[in-house]
Structure 1
Amino acid sequence: MPIPDDVTGDEIDKDVRQELQSLPKGLAEDVARNLVMVANLIDEDPEQAYAYSRIALRLASRVAAVREAAGFAAYATQKYSEALAEFRAARRMTGSVELWPVMADCERGLGRPERALAMAGEPEVQKLDKAGQVEMRLVAAGARRDMGQLDAAIVTLQSPELASNSVQPWTARLRYAYADALLAAGREGEAREWFAKALEADKDGATDASDRLAELDGVEFVDVMDEDREGDGENEPENKAANVEGTHEQDGEGEKAE
């Protein structure tokens, strides 16, 4: 597959570059460039990212970073069995537990939430850093919801990290998952409060908390262009902006998990 000339392979993380030093120089460069393409495309075009990951895997299957990248590319395309196999291979090579939460989420994707819950209780979880432990909590809550245990999912998400006013990289997603679970349980007022808290912490747009809040508040987004087309046919200046209409109902107080 073609790779743009401006992708040199030097863009990869230094730890990955170090891993690739075990390969002949030319091969290491080829693998690195394919890994860069995986990283660049995994969010916007996961299928293409997956294709590049397969090339890297064919070239250097004994490199842990390559197996991990292949795992994430497969995960992004919902090939959960393949992703789990790659993550397990990477873990065998490195001995690291950092992939434990995403491995558990693969079990959810395969329709085995009970296995994900079992993994949440394994000793490996205690070896995770704080971010990894929060991720594991999100996965466990998702598994509870998969099994129809909504109240248990809500309790699972209740934690010091959720209660903290400190904003960390995981804060928005944790608050969002909690709000989503509350809404599913019919606790709309509390859900709105937590969607608002998720939005407050979501500086990078990792969630759609603003849209969920708008839905709860009864806000409708109307395309002005569509309104003009449905009008009387008079020539009016084209307006590409969305017009926000709606009323904020008085609804009392005011995660999706992976």
Structure 2
Amino acid sequence: MPIPEDVTGEEIDKDVRQELLSLPKGLAEDVAKNLVMVARLIDEDPEAAYGYSRVALRLASRVAAVREAAGFAAYANQKYAEALAEFRAARRMTGSVELWPVMADCERGLGRPEKALDMAGAPEVHKLDKAGQVEMRLVAAGARRDMDQLDAAIVTLQSPELASNSVQPWTARLRYAYADALLAAGREGEAREWFAKAVEADRDGSTDASDRLAELDGVEFVDAFDEGDSDAAADEKVVEDDGDEEGEGDEHKG
């Protein structure tokens, strides 16, 4: 697969670069460039990212960082069995528990929520850092919902991290998951409160909490000049407002 000229391979994390030192220099550069492309495309074009990950895998399947990248690329394309195999391989190579939550989520993707819950109760979870433990809690709550255990999902998410007022990288997603579970259980008032809290914490737009909140509040986003009625609507508006065309694209409460 083609690599853009601006990609040098130097963009990768220094720890990954260290791992690639076990390879011949030219090969290490090729692998690094493909890993850069995986990272660059995995959100906007997961299919292309997957293609680059397969190239890296063919070139250096014995490098843990390559197996991990291949796992995330497969995961992004909902190839959960393949992702799980790659994550397991990376874990065998490194001995790290870091991938435990995403491995459990792969079990969910494969229709095995019970297995994900088993993993949530395993000793490995205690070795995770705070972010990893929150991620594991999110996966466990998702598994409960997969099994239609809504109340258990809600209880699973109730934690010191959820109650904390400090905003961490995981705060928005945790509050969002809690709000979503409350809404699914028919607790609309509480759900609205927690979607609002998710919005407060979501500084980089990682969730659609603001849309969900607007939906609960009955806010609709409409285009004043829609489809075939655009000309008539425009003419009518000019007559009514004496040339004042403000209000296009405004939101209103239904």
After TM superposition, is the score higher than 0.5? yes
2:108 is the alignment partner of 1:101:
no
Matching residue within 242, 248, 251 for 1:244: 251
* Secondary structure at 2:252 match in 1: strand
Structure 1, unaligned runs of 5 or more: 248-258
**Structure of greater relative contact order (alpha carbons < 8 Å, 6+ residues apart):** 1
Take 2:102 and 2:72, find their aligned partners in 1: how far apart are those partners?
9
Take 1:240 and 1:226, find their aligned partners in 2: how far apart are those partners?
13
Alignment of 1:82-231 (within 5 A): 82-226=82-226, 229=230, 231=232
> Percent identity between the aligned chains?
85
Moved more, 37-46 or 237-246: 237-246
Does the 8 Å contact 2:196/2:213 carry over to 1?
Answer: yes
Residue of structure 1 in register with 2:59 after alignment = 59
Take 2:180 and 2:189, find their aligned partners in 1: how far apart are those partners?
12
Deviation track 1:151-177 (CA, whole Å, cap 9, x = no partner) reads 000000000000000110000000000
Residue of structure 1 in register with 2:28 after alignment = 28
Q: Report the CA distance between 1:229 and its aligned residue.
A: 1.4
Does the 8 Å contact 2:224/2:233 carry over to 1?
Answer: no
Deviation track 1:107-157 (CA, whole Å, cap 9, x = no partner) reads 000000000000000000000000000000000000000001000000000
* Secondary structure at 1:97 match in 2: coil
Which TM-score applies when normalising by structure 2?
A: 0.93
Does the 8 Å contact 1:225/1:240 carry over to 2?
Answer: no
Write the letter of the residue equivalent to 2:216: L
Q: Report the CA distance between 1:224 and its aligned residue.
A: 2.5
Residue of structure 1 in register with 2:7 after alignment = 7
For residues 150 and 22 of structure 1, do their structure 2 counterparts lie closer, same or farther at Cα, with a shift above 3 Å needed?
same
Write the letter of the residue equivalent to 1:157: L
Flag the structure with larger Rg: 2
Aligned length: 247
Write the letter of the residue equivalent to 2:218: G
Take 1:138 and 1:30, find their aligned partners in 2: how far apart are those partners?
36
